[in-house]
Chains A and B, each alone.
Chain A
């Protein structure tokens, strides 16, 4: 124990102990010498004899040091100092290595911090891994009566709750605001296990009609609209003209639902009323908490049994109900792209490591003499390897530090580039896990690039290195093989990355060239809500819509204007089933279905969405005129194959078969994009808003708004203020939201692939540059080593062309081997991308050819420059120089 402290203390008292030791050894040798002199030797002879008798002074010192303290600690300090000095002596080498590592480590840390926030961190609820959703096909809403049956009949769940999408006009402040929210069953929020910041959650019984006028606010809404008023509880707020009492405020950062309706800012009770008997209107999202120990599979099996039973009783309902982990709903779509990006930056880091390994190999060859001298002075191999690894660690720490800066900046750019399309991206940041990742990567990196060079450097033979005077080609064959392997791997990795990026670019350009069906340029859109205002009255609503559009059409710079309930690509998408006149009545669940849109006159003209047959909906198609509808090409092909649908009649009133409201098809419009840019359009119908009772008179929030579209002569964004003022000239209380140019809507629809393509492209270019630098470095190093050999060859008559060929061939061989390996890897890996690609196969020959050509070219150029240098070697100068 005592010795432990003594040794430990000596770690920090090295200098004094060292002086003491030196003094003691000097005195020892002096005494020896004295003795030898006494025996009759001359002082000079005696001195030599004394040194011989004593043995190696430095070795003795080293043994003493090891005994006296925990030398390995002392060594590491010394190595750090030595390493730091040695790195500073070579600022060029150090700078290039640090930048290379910083790029690799920084990119990895940035992407990992996104992966961490989005995929790894648990959702912000208690035991969030037990939360699941029960949805049709895993994504679509269900009907109230079915939900109630599942809730009452299942045993796999601790609790089951449900929510409806809801929005309301919040009035009472300076500007009316359209707020998104959810109508939730009483038990839903308690099920999540998050305590409110203020007040309480809903109490049992509060989701019954009559007692359902209470509201819980999000932290953001509370801050924004009520300035964080601590006395908000119990106060009344006006939502779409109705009074609600605030009973609670949720903490900052609370978000529900985490997918779909992610911008919900308030929650009110969901009073089902008569809907408890409804099995047809699918609007409800069902959430549940699994009982402890119950697996998803067990829950799914139970739900399958229950829904199977219900389907027999109520045909056409309860089909395809899938239990999905809540988190899967949130991150399922982005997992593959994010992991792909993580793999891509991993490749970049590996390439960076290979490059630094090259540089170290070249450097250690030059340090052969230093190594030999240090070995002669008593440094063991493990000690030398330790020294090298410390130096490498120092290098990668510097790289990590620079990389961290890069990552901090990079995550900022990343989150700014991709806010809306990656869930939870607002939570991206550096936390403990990111720091551990960074440390781990740094450590692994330093081993990855440093171990092989260190082993190689110290494996050389001592006296050979000394004799060759530092020119040391000892072990060069093995080292060349290692270099070849490194270059080959770099090219293989770069090839795979470039294939990934190439496929994404091809896919993205295919997406870009997709025809949306309409012309998005020079169109401005905005949502005007009438809910809760005096304009919501049936008669007033019609007048408002007509007069508003007329007034907009007369604005300077406006060419045409129209309106629609749900703007393509930006708005919601409803599906309805209908019935075709003269056809046999379909079985429940087998009716023709179509996307349901309601348009104001002028919509088709404004969007430049061509009506291919028949005519567009005009202002004369109002409540007094016969009902009309326009269908898209897809609907025409699907339901009237080989027939002309114009003039045929359909009805949505499938329930009242005695006197349905028939709608005559007056035109077939070109297929337009609907919700998902990459998806094939579904059959679609456009109804006339002026004939639509729901959209003109219904008090329900989901029909009490319209999206105005206006085509302008020039930049549509400039028109936004005028358009808003025009709306407010009718009623100052009309909330306006989602003011967007159609170009922006289209850009947003392809934002995720654009983001992924951009990032992957950047990483691939980085990889290409690093690989080219790698082969260039190796080639020019090898040429500088072979100066003498090449000089001899030239003096013996080798033509310069032959020398060029020889050098280039050596480099190309390594690169081509790498490319071949990369080709095999890419064929395997690109299959994993299949789902992310649009209009291009994972084995797209054009991409593979192009990438092989690019890499081949890069390798040729990188090999040619040093090779060209080799041909200019002057034989006589080369021979003399060594």
Chain B
């Protein structure tokens, strides 16, 4: 099934979800543009991506019930869809963060001890 093909998203997929959740947790409800801006701020040029690529992550997280989108108004009084992290999203973030830490710790150790 082509839609299950992870190739398009690359290795970023899991990470991107995590970053989005974390951003929403720390900053509260945000629209896609704000999330994209935030991503760019944090990553600098390391994580260079078209802002459109954010959308698959948003729809995936929403379908998983980890975030919830509602239409609202921006400060400049524009229509925008604001995403907020849900309780299940908080839980998932905690779990994923833990797993990520373990994983990166393990990779770190491997990289420093190996060779």
Contacts and interface: CB of A to CB of B under 8 A. Distances in A.
B84 to A, nearest CB: 15
A53 B8 CA distance: 19
Interface in A1-50: 2-3, 6-7, 20-21, 23-25, 27-28, 30-32, 34-35
Contacts of B50: 53-56, 60
Interface in B20-79: 31-34, 36-37, 50-53, 55-57, 59-60, 63-65, 74, 76, 78-79
A71 B2 contact: yes
A299 B79 CA distance: 88
Nearest to A23: B79
B19 interface: no
Contacts of B81: 20, 23-24, 27
Nearest to A21: B55
B112 interface: no
A211 interface: no
B52 A34 contact: no
A652 interface: no
Given A6-B63, A7-B63, A34-B76, A63 B2 contact: no
A55 B36 CA distance: 12
Contact of B64 (A3, A57, A66): A3
Interface in A598-621: none
A229 interface: no
B85 to A, nearest CB: 17
A702 interface: no
Nearest to A386: B2
Nearest to A3: B63
Contact of A27 (B1, B8, B78): B78
B52 A57 contact: yes
Given A54-B50, A55-B53, A24 B2 contact: no
B51 A55 contact: yes
A72 interface: yes
A38 to B, nearest CB: 10
Per DSSP, chain B at the interface is helix
Contacts of A55: 50-53
A120 B109 CA distance: 69
A68 interface: yes
Contacts of B51: 28, 32, 53-55
A67 interface: yes
Contacts of A59: 52
B52 A25 contact: yes
Contacts of B37: 35
Contacts of A3: 60, 63-64
B55 A30 contact: no
A25 B55 CA distance: 9
B65 A67 contact: no
B101 to A, nearest CB: 26
A60 B80 contact: no
A66 B2 contact: yes
Contacts, number: 91
A383 interface: yes
Nearest to A66: B3
Interface in A473-499: none
A72 B1 contact: yes
B56 A54 contact: no
Contacts of A70: 1, 3
Contacts of A30: 78
A495 B73 CA distance: 75
A37 to B, nearest CB: 10
Given A55-B51, A70-B3, A383-B2, A27 B56 contact: no
Interface in A744-770: none
Given A24-B81, A27-B81, A56-B50, A66 B56 contact: yes
Nearest to A7: B63
Contacts of B3: 66-67, 69-72
Contacts of A63: 8, 52-53, 55-56
Contacts of B2: 66, 71-72, 380, 382-383
B63 A2 contact: yes
A799 B64 CA distance: 74
Nearest to A383: B2
Interface string A609-641: 000000000000000000000000000000000
A64 interface: yes
Contacts of A31: 31, 33-34, 74, 76, 78, 80
Contact of A68 (B8, B34, B53, B59): B59
A28 B56 contact: no
A31 B33 CA distance: 7
A60 B59 CA distance: 12
B55 A60 contact: yes
A382 B32 CA distance: 30
Nearest to A71: B3
A25 B32 CA distance: 9
A7 B57 CA distance: 14
B64 A27 contact: no
A27 B31 contact: yes
Contacts of A24: 32, 55, 80-81
A54 B52 contact: yes
A109 B30 CA distance: 62
Nearest to B35: A28
Residue among A25, A67, A72 with the highest chain B CB neighbour number at 10 A? A67
A381 to B, nearest CB: 11
B63 A27 contact: no
Given A24-B81, A63-B8, A2 B55 contact: no
Contacts of A35: 37
Contacts of B36: 28
Interface in A46-96: 53-57, 59-60, 63-64, 66-72
Interface in A541-567: none
Residue among B2, B33, B52 with the highest chain A CB neighbour number at 10 A? B52
Nearest to A38: B76
A56 B55 contact: no
Nearest to A58: B52
Nearest to A2: B65
Contacts of A53: 50-51
B7 to A, nearest CB: 11
A667 B52 CA distance: 106
Contacts of A7: 63
Interface string A379-393: 010110000000000
A335 B23 CA distance: 75
Nearest to A17: B59
A32 B59 CA distance: 20
A21 B79 CA distance: 13
A72 B2 CA distance: 7
A3 B65 CA distance: 8
Nearest to B32: A28
Residue among B3, B8, B76 with the highest chain A CB neighbour number at 10 A? B3
B53 to A, nearest CB: 7
Contacts of B52: 25, 54-57, 59-60, 63
A3 B56 CA distance: 13
Contacts of A21: 55
Given A27-B81, A55-B52, 18 more contacts: A2-B64, A7-B63, A20-B81, A24-B55, A27-B79, A28-B31, A31-B34, A32-B51, A55-B50, A55-B51, A55-B53, A56-B50, A63-B55, A66-B2, A68-B63, A71-B3, A72-B1, A383-B2
Instruction: List 10 tightest A-B contacts by C-beta distance, closest first.
Output: A55-B50, A60-B52, A67-B56, A31-B33, A6-B63, A64-B55, A55-B52, A66-B3, A68-B59, A71-B3
Interface of A: 2-3, 6-7, 20-21, 23-25, 27-28, 30-32, 34-35, 53-57, 59-60, 63-64, 66-72, 380, 382-383
23 contacts: A2-B64, A2-B65, A3-B60, A3-B64, A6-B63, A7-B63, A20-B81, A23-B81, A24-B55, A28-B32, A28-B51, A31-B31, A32-B51, A53-B51, A59-B52, A60-B50, A64-B55, A66-B2, A67-B55, A69-B3, A72-B2, A72-B3, A382-B2
